[in-house]
Amino acid sequence: MFIEYNMDQLYLPMNLELDIPPNHISRVVNTAVTRLDDAIFEVAYPGGGRDSYHPKMMTKIVIYAYTQRIYSSRQIAKAVRENIPFMWLAGRQTPDFRTINRF
């Protein structure tokens, strides 16, 4: 008996949140930064110009990186591309190391 596989289907998890345990530190960071008042970020980012990455998202990935003892902007950028909690915090956006460094 032969088993036929359909190679056109995508078997990757579409919801990254399902792969993160309920009490994971990334969830704590996400909750803490989400609760911050938007006025804090509006002072530093008055608007205008080209759309940028949301400052709360950037804050989440930098704080989470520090909890994981990752301090290099290049290593943080790599983690955002390869690590599930980083991907979840970044909302599947991938800022490069220069953007992270400037932030």
* pLDDT digits 0-9 by tens, 38-76: 888 877 776 666 667 888 999 999 999 999 999 999 999
Q: What mean pLDDT do residues 85-95 have?
A: 90
Total-model pTM: 0.80
Pinpoint the alpha helices (H) of the chain. Answer: 25-34, 38-44, 55-67, 73-82, 84-90, 97-102
Quick one: 20 exposed, middle or buried, by C-beta within 10 A (0-12, 13-18, 19+)?
Answer: middle
Query: Per-domain residue ranges for the chain?
Result: 28-45+53-102
| Residue 32's pLDDT band (cuts 50, 70, 90) | very high
Q: Is the pLDDT of residue 2 over 60?
A: no
Q: What mean pLDDT do residues 19-40 have?
A: 91
- Distance between CA 8 and CA 54 in Å, rounded? 34
Does residue 14 or residue 102 have the better pLDDT? 102
Average pLDDT score over the chain: 84
